Structure 1
Amino acid sequence: MADGRSADPLEEELEDEESAPRLRLSRRGIVVLSVLGATVLGVLAWLVFFSSVLNVRDVAVQGTPDEKLTSDQVREAIGGLAGGPLARVDLDGVKHRVEAIPRVAKAEVWRGWPHTLQVKVVQRTAVAAVKGDDGQFTQVDASGVSFATEAAPPAGVPVVELRLSQQAKDVDGVISRAQLVQGAVSVAAGLPQEVSKRAGSVLVHSYDDIELQLSGGATVRWGSPEQNDRKARVLLALMKQKGTSFDVTAPEAPAVSG
């Protein structure tokens, strides 16, 4: 160069970049691109929400391992809510319909793209079967919800039966039969597994006189449906002793006899 100094390659590169023509979109180009983008989004939205391309083709049901509650019963309860595009299915509506089935305690619903509505149910578990005047047995879960009535109680579930004393009948207007049954169910729900599997019956003589009949002929005087947790712990300790009659009506002063 004329001044005898060598050019800096980095400076030359920067000068070339500054002198290079820059691509500028005209206002018309921006409008065209915007319209094109909106069109693409509109087509995608139509495909997902309104066309039959992503319609529901299957309702997959989990949590129905036996004939008591079948997948077909769940699908029937869902009905037309599972029709049309998967994206438009009312998941809350489906959940509420499934949970309205008496045997269902809880339901989860989600979309399984591209064509499947996924439903998972948790069935109620009976903690007691209440024997009615007609000889039928109503199954009740730990929350006190009655969900099925059958001719026989489920295997391994205590049977609640009202055998009211005259005193209990006299105060029927104060403590109703429904309240007595509810108290007995709470006793059954709180029994430890070791006791529950042996408890054939929960007999209600009055609010303060509930009795358990265990397999093998042993009996447990439970008393009222109060302090159930404490009574259950005391009973487990008592049952390590030999006896045919256990009394936990006053858990601070339990007794064994027989």
Structure 2
Amino acid sequence: MAGAGSVAQRRQVKAPPGGGQRPPGRRLLPRSRILPALLLVAAVGLAGFGAWALYGSQWLRIEKVSVSWEPESRRELTGDQVLSVAAVPLGAPMASLDKEAIEARLLAELPRLKSVRVVRAWPHGVGLKLTEREPQAQLPAPGGYAEVDDEGVRFAEIAEPLPSVPLLELDMEDSPSARRFGEERTLRDAVAVASALPGPLAGETSVIRIVSYDAITLELSDDRTVRWGSPEDSPAKAEALTILMKAAPDARHFDVSVPSAPAASGG
């Protein structure tokens, strides 16, 4: 009887899985976990394929670079100059394009540029969109003249003066305001005066002379002069001067230092 019991026990141990017991060491995933696992495998596969497509394949490579100027922007630089400095890596993956580095390089090496935008034009293009600085005034410089924009930035030197762009002449050595305000601030303020002049009046202004912060004079064509005073209220002064010149076309001297009470004389 003991032997028969031993045989029965062995038969129970070796019973097939269909008999209700699963052999130890073999566990199946529950159905609720199979789908997430498959989705994870698919996601990893797609991510790997995407990375290969962006960086390893030849599908999305830089093949051409275009240069354009923003509307109404002055254009002095050439496309070849810009492309040479930008040094966009042709043949490199589009995804690896370092837009910030290209923008910084262009602004550092081409100070005539006021702003730069680098854009991807998928699948193979890169666009460089530029805005150049506009000269609002010019300063005497060792090599000729320095162009100055509306922010007071000296961005380029030219051999000959620009027509229809006022020349700034600073004569502040003996002025107390030179110590109080400093030459750079006074220069920015003088450029603000030039920027406030409407087009026709700016074209008639040959020199903006700064003796002190509150003693700015405009020298116009035909030996006419304008006492401007300080750079404060420049838009109001420009408007007052425009009206005054129409009302007294033969006058030689104008005073808009107090824009609410402009005056004209001579003629």
User: Structure 1 residue 97: deviation in Å?
Assistant: 2.7
5 Å-filtered alignment, 1:99-138, equals 99-100=107-108, 101-132=110-141, 134=142, 136-138=144-146
Residue 231 (structure 1) aligned with residue 215 (structure 2):
no
The one of 183, 192, 195 aligned to 1:186: 192
- Kindly indicate whether the alpha-carbon contact (under 8 Å) linking 1:191 and 1:232 is maintained by their aligned counterparts in 2: yes
Matched pairs, number: 231
Residue 255 (structure 1) aligned with residue 258 (structure 2):
no
User: Structure 1 residue 221: deviation in Å?
Assistant: 1.0
Q: Deviations over 1:220-257 (max 9, x none)?
A: 11111111111111111101022111111122221101
- Kindly indicate whether the alpha-carbon contact (under 8 Å) linking 1:82 and 1:117 is maintained by their aligned counterparts in 2: no
Query: Using the alignment, how far apart are the partners of 2:261 and 2:133 within structure 1?
Result: 36
* Alignment CA distance shift 1:46-1:246 (3 Å): same
Q: Secondary structure at the match of 1:188?
A: helix
The one of 212, 215, 223 aligned to 1:206: 212
5 Å-filtered alignment, 1:135-214, equals 136-164=144-172, 167-168=174-175, 172-214=178-220
Query: Using the alignment, how far apart are the partners of 1:111 and 1:60 within structure 2?
Result: 11
User: Structure 1 residue 125: deviation in Å?
Assistant: 0.6
User: Structure 1 residue 214: deviation in Å?
Assistant: 1.4
* Alignment CA distance shift 1:88-1:66 (3 Å): same
Q: Secondary structure at the match of 2:148?
A: strand
Q: Secondary structure at the match of 2:193?
A: helix
Query: Using the alignment, how far apart are the partners of 2:242 and 2:74 within structure 1?
Result: 33
- Kindly indicate whether the alpha-carbon contact (under 8 Å) linking 1:52 and 1:84 is maintained by their aligned counterparts in 2: no
Q: Secondary structure at the match of 1:237?
A: helix
Name the % identity: 35
* Alignment CA distance shift 1:135-1:72 (3 Å): closer
User: Structure 1 residue 128: deviation in Å?
Assistant: 0.6
Q: Which residue of structure 1 lines up, in the alignment, with residue 52 of structure 2?
A: 46
TM-score by length of 2: 0.75
Q: Deviations over 1:147-196 (max 9, x none)?
A: 111112322211111244x742x664334333332221111111122211
Question: More deviation in 212-221 or 172-181?
Answer: 172-181
User: Structure 1 residue 80: deviation in Å?
Assistant: 5.4
User: Structure 1 residue 29: deviation in Å?
Assistant: 9.2
- The amino acid that maps onto 1:114 is P
Tell me the C-alpha RMSD between the 2 structures.
2.9
* Alignment CA distance shift 1:28-1:178 (3 Å): closer
Residue 73 (structure 1) aligned with residue 71 (structure 2):
no
Q: Secondary structure at the match of 1:76?
A: helix
* Higher share in helix: 2
Query: Using the alignment, how far apart are the partners of 2:244 and 2:224 within structure 1?
Result: 12
- Kindly indicate whether the alpha-carbon contact (under 8 Å) linking 1:81 and 1:90 is maintained by their aligned counterparts in 2: no
- The amino acid that maps onto 1:92 is E
Query: What runs of 5+ residues in structure 1 fail to find an aligned partner?
Result: 1-24
User: Structure 1 residue 27: deviation in Å?
Assistant: 8.4
